[in-house]
Amino acid sequence: MRPVQLAEQILIATVFIFVATYRVMSFDWHILIPSTVGGLVTGTFAILATWFTYKHTIRLHQRQQQKKLNGLLMAIRYEIDIAIDILQRKAGHLLDKLEEGKPYLNYFSLSGEYFIIYPNNTELIGQIDDRELRKAIIETYNTANYAIEGLRVNNWYLERLSDFRKLQGQHSNANYISTNIQSLEKHLVEYAPALKKGNQVLKEQKQNLLSRIGDYLKRHGYEE
């Protein structure tokens, strides 16, 4: 029961006692006044006790909720830092050096899921009381997934190109093989700038996100 509701009930009960006493005691103020005052004092203490209990419960819930959010942000920070570092070591540093007009010809080995924190905690992330931080989390994860998916597509082009090159000199329709090789090589060249741009944006978003997480944790009294 909320404190306001309890106060209303106590007030009604006090008025009832006052009226009942007023009628029964036939205006005997010596009995009426002490009983009424006693009821008011008791009711006031009851209201105060309930109010302090209510406020304590609210503060406890808020502290527990903030502890959950802080823990979640720490997990996100570690996941983003580690996963994007792996991407950089496997592909990112090569994309940074890729010359304009050249295809990205390195096969990127993908194993399992890189991100598990964000997709399993979207509801809790929505409760973070920092709009820009929420936005940074969503943008960084989306860009990271885009970068990984882009490397998957590039892998597919490389696999197809390798298959057609193996058929050169073996297939009866040499023109068909040559046409497909040229088409795939063209796709790889056209696709490379998007991979390089995605990698650059991801690095920038990572730094922005980690900085915002650090600032948020400091504001909310988190100590590692």
DSSP 3-state of 45: helix
Low-confidence ranges of the chain (pLDDT < 50): 24, 27
For position 221, what pLDDT does the model report? 78
Count of Cβ atoms closer than 10 Å to residue 51 Cβ: 15
CA 222 to chain centre: 17
Task: Determine the pLDDT at residue 153.
Answer: 94
| 8 A C-beta contact, residue 40 and residue 16 | no
Identify the CA nearest to 84 among candidates 118, 48, 135, 46: 118
Q: What is the pLDDT at residue 167?
A: 87
With a CB cutoff of 8 Å and minimum separation 6, the contacts of 209 are 76, 77, 80, 136, 137, 139, 140
Specify the pLDDT at position 62. Answer: 63
- Of 200, 198, 169, 167, nearest in space to 184 by CA: 167
The tokens for 137 are 């989390």
> Which pLDDT score is estimated for 74?
95
| Alpha-helical segments (H) within 88-130 | 93-97, 122-125
Find the helix packing angle between 3-24 and 29-87, rounded to 10°: 170
